[in-house]
Amino acid sequence: MLCSSASRPSSVSSCATSQVISIDNRVAASVRVDKRPRRGSRARSGKWVLALAVLFLSALVGFAPSAEAQTAHFSWAITTLGSGFSLPNGVAVDGSGNVFVADYGHNAVKEILATGGYTTVNTLGSGSGFSNPTGVAVDGSGNVFVADQGSNAVKKILAAGGYITVNTLGSGFSFPAGVAVDGSGNVFVADNGNNAVKEILAAGGYTTVNTLGSSFSSPYGVAVDGSGNVFVADTGHIAVKEIVAAGGYTTVYTLGSGFSSPTGVAVDGSGNVFVADTLNHVVEEIMTRSVNFGSAAIGTGTPLNMPLTFTFDTAGTITAPAVLTQGTTGLDFADAGTGTCTTNGTTHTYAAGDTCTVNLTFVPQLPGARNGAVVLKNASGNAIATAYVYGTGRGPQVTFDPGTVRVVNTGGVSINNPFQLALDGASNMYVSNYSGQNVTKIAAGGGSAPAPPWMRRESRQHSLQAAPRARVL
């Protein structure tokens, strides 16, 4: 209590107190109440002032925002970057979000600066004689690597000095179309005219060129993951392939199917591969490390079904597949019991190259992200393959989907003939729109569309010593 008797008769003290009034159990308002004696109408006036103050605060509470359950979810954000391109091909993005473009029709390599909202476009290596550049990549130091198709050369634009100096790397290329660079600076090239994929080693000053894998036909796009595995848009074979780093780049796997002229590939930090499927006019995702079932209402509704295919690299037998949800059996994910991994029984011997399937169902028991796995074990009980799966349970309200999309939803924005693409550290996607003469940015967490079954498959998994190693395609 605050009291003051200064300049007042001793018989009358001035005291006031602060009281907290709870209004509607949501907002507490501090109202200063004067407790000095009042006479006649002045006392009654004070009561009216207090009453009006309380009514005023109640009105404010009525208009105050309150926390409510979300009834919608974020769908997408798409931005056109820069302008003035002619048949843009390759695209890459650095750690700061700057975007590099192989501007094929203008015989130039350009940078769209992230600062200022992607409006400033600079030409790099001006006067250096680029001829129909098709592929572009950028390393951690900002150096830019270019597949200069018209010159049958691979070139490096040095970041030091402001992107003026241009060096030619390696030799013997024929219409190189795509380039990628790993963390050690090694450069991977889709050597279109030679029907080959090659690596230019950073050690020794980019003079040594090695051929990786075999049996490619007019490869166009190339990407490399953090483990050194190389992904190829094998355009002539209408396929997407992976050249495995382990074993010296000799093993080649085909990923997914159903493409129509794939030309660009990119890989994210989780190992998922994105494909610019030019003649299908879409960007698609191959889930090589985990499989997304999408979302379904919680409870006992119609289960979502999906077959997972495992391929044996060596001969052997397996036990019944183990299906886990959050590390426990008997929950959201379950074996339908109709796949050949189950129906073949535990005595069936698989030869190298044989396949079997686990037909998986998903009925979410709780809302939100649900994670699971399918584990194959050999007769000794050792795990030989694990396919990771996930989905989203939807409750009364709409739940934000944690997974990425399979067929990228452009929200009505036309991306005719997507040619090349790149991903930044936040998984935002950058696509060269060949026919639209522009570069498009699709924000991460975009809207989702159901993926066809052939895209919802796993790639290979690791083996344990000599045990049969299963890979999911």
The CATH fold assigned to 291-402+467-472 is Immunoglobulin-like (2.60.40)
Quick check: 458 pLDDT over 50?
Answer: no
Sorting pLDDT into bands at 50, 70 and 90, what band is 32? very low
3-state secondary structure the chain: CEEECCCCCCCCCEEEEEEEEEECCCEEEEEEEECCCCCHHHHHHHHHHHHHHHHHHHHHHHHCCCCCCCCCCCCCCEEEECCCCCCEEEEEECCCCCEEEEEHHHCEEEEECCCCCCCCEEEECCCCCCCCEEEEEECCCCCEEEEEHHHCEEEEECCCCCCCCEEEECCCCCCEEEEEECCCCCEEEEEHHHCEEEEECCCCCCCCEEEECCCCCCEEEEEECCCCCEEEEEHHHCEEEEECCCCCCCCEEEECCCCCCEEEEEECCCCCEEEEEHHHCEEEEECCCEEEEEEEECCCCCCEEEEEEEEECCCECECCCEEEECCECCCCEEECCCCHHHHCCCCCCECCCCEEEEEEEECCCCCEEEEEEEEEEECCCCEEEEEEEEEEEECCCCCCCCCCCCECCCCCCCCCCEEEEEECCCCCEEEEECCCCEEEEECCCCCCCCCCHHHCCCCECCCCCCCCCEEEC
Annotated domain spans of the chain: 1-36, 78-287+410-442, 291-402+467-472
Over residues 364-384, mean pLDDT: 87
Quick check: 95 pLDDT over 70?
Answer: yes
- Lowest-confidence segment of 129-133, 267-271, 330-334, 338-342 by average pLDDT: 267-271
Over residues 6-33, mean pLDDT: 33
The string of pLDDT tens digits covering residues 97-108 is: 999 999 999 999
Quick check: 30 pLDDT over 50?
Answer: no
The CATH fold assigned to 78-287+410-442 is Neuraminidase (2.120.10)
